[in-house]
Amino acid sequence: MTRWKQKNVFVTGASGLLGSWMTQELVARGANVVVLLRDWVPASRLVTSGMIDKVTAVRGELEDLELLLRALNEHEIDTVFHLGAQTIVGTASRSPLSTFEANIRGTWNLLEACRLNPKLIRRVLVASSDKAYGEHAVLPYQEDAPLQGKWPYDVSKSCTDLITLSYWHTYKLPVAVTRCGNLFGGGDLNFNRLIPGTIRAVLQGERPLIRSDGTFIRDYFYVRDAVDAYLQLADRMDDPRFHGQAFNFGTETPMSVVEMVKAILARMGKVGVEPLILNEASHEIPKQYLDCTKARTFMNWRPAFTLEQGLDEAIAWYTEWLRQRSEHTVP
């Protein structure tokens, strides 16, 4: 806990799901947190929790190299958590160029800004994804599996991953890559995603929607476990053996979409509700799940939360969030 006290930490994507929880934990540990914000999102957890008042906000985009150089230099950043990205598969398919700009150019800009500040930067953790692996016949994914995304979002994460590791191989920039399963938890306002969309639908008395045929397999990963994984990895990066490494983090308990919806309905006491299966998803991989042996072996890392605990906390968060929004809605 004490290692973060007064550390100058830069977090991209702080208004998103993982970024908001990461920012909260870093502040709780005494770090001086600087966040990069492209958009002001009043409903985001970063704002509604009051966390925005406890950090320094730099307004701008990952596509702006000069801004990144200035932020890292002026705030004397020691550690970077690069969590910012365009994360929605459907958005990436509709708008590949903006996704590539944010996810690929944004990554190389940030890495280059770190490379140009070698006296400051001690560790850089970059969020890749299980999507970076692309579609494989042999599962679960292990870290040495080829990165072979096909669709725009998956390709953007494959590129993010490869570019990051190239900065270690070429320049010995102290980077590490995380490849997580499908994150969920309170604060995810992308309601076209399965878990927040299902919870909101039930709270509003509606049938939950499944965009796919319901058979897609994923590894669902609670956000507080993800924060713990990132921080444990960051703690180990004083050891050069962790530089240039990629680690899978997840639960290793893959579930189908239908199974996840049923699990949510059970936690919310709505077992009899039937989801509406749209079967209209495209540009998505049917089966994705992770082998986390490397994280267990090298870091002694394991998730601390059960699926049920994570879902219960998420349901409680959305229940309160929707209640507060309804109270502030003008009739």
> In this structure, are residues 148 and 157 in contact, taking their beta carbons and an 8 Å threshold?
no
Q: Identify the burial level of 38 via C-beta atoms within 10 angstroms of its C-beta, where 0-12 means exposed, 13-18 middle and 19 or more buried.
A: middle
Q: Would 194 be classed as within a structural domain?
A: no
Q: Would 297 be classed as within a structural domain?
A: no
Check residue 331 and give its pLDDT: 45
Q: How far is CA 113 from CA 107, 162, 167, 198, 206, in A?
A: 10, 17, 11, 40, 47
- Note down the domain range covering 57: 2-181+222-250
Contacting residues for 218 by C-beta, under 8 A, at least 6 apart: 181, 182, 254, 255, 257, 260, 288, 289
Q: Degrees (nearest 5) of the Cα angle 158, 161, 166?
A: 120
Question: In this structure, is the dihedral angle defined by the CA atoms of residues 57, 61, 62 and 65, taken in order, positive or negative?
Answer: negative
> In this structure, are residues 206 and 274 in contact, taking their beta carbons and an 8 Å threshold?
no
Q: Would 264 be classed as within a structural domain?
A: no
Structure tokens at 186: 């309170």
Q: Would 100 be classed as within a structural domain?
A: yes
The domain that contains 242 carries what CATH number? 3.40.50.720
- The alpha carbon of 309 is separated from its chain's Cα centroid by a whole number of angstroms, namely 19
- Residue 246: what residue type? A
Question: Looking at the 3D structure of the chain, how many domains does it have?
Answer: 1
Q: Count other C-beta atoms under 10 Å from residue 326's C-beta.
A: 9
- Residue 5: what residue type? K
171 included as an active-site residue: no
User: What is the DSSP code string of 244-299?
Assistant: TEEEEES-S--EEHHHHHHHHHHHTT-TT---EE-----S--SB--B--HHHHHHH
In the three-class reduction of DSSP (H, G, I as helix; E, B as strand; rest coil), residue 239 is classed as coil
Check residue 1 and give its pLDDT: 60
Q: Would 205 be classed as within a structural domain?
A: no
Check residue 67 and give its pLDDT: 98
Q: Would 119 be classed as within a structural domain?
A: yes
Check residue 2 and give its pLDDT: 74
Q: Would 326 be classed as within a structural domain?
A: no
d(CA 291, CA 271): 31
Structure tokens at 307: 């699926």
Q: Would 191 be classed as within a structural domain?
A: no
Mark residue 121 as left, alpha or beta (left: phi above 0; alpha: psi -120 to 50; beta: remaining): beta
- The whole-model pTM stands at 0.96
Per-residue tens of pLDDT for the chain, all 331 residues: 678 999 999 999 999 999 999 999 999 999 999 999 999 999 899 999 999 999 999 999 999 999 999 999 999 999 999 999 998 888 889 999 999 999 999 999 999 999 999 999 999 999 999 999 999 999 999 999 999 999 999 999 999 999 999 999 999 999 999 999 999 999 999 999 999 999 999 999 999 999 999 999 999 999 999 999 999 999 999 999 999 999 999 999 999 999 999 999 999 999 989 999 999 888 889 999 999 999 999 999 999 999 999 999 999 999 999 998 887 764 4
- Find the catalytic residue in 133, 153, 220, 230: 153
Check residue 169 and give its pLDDT: 98
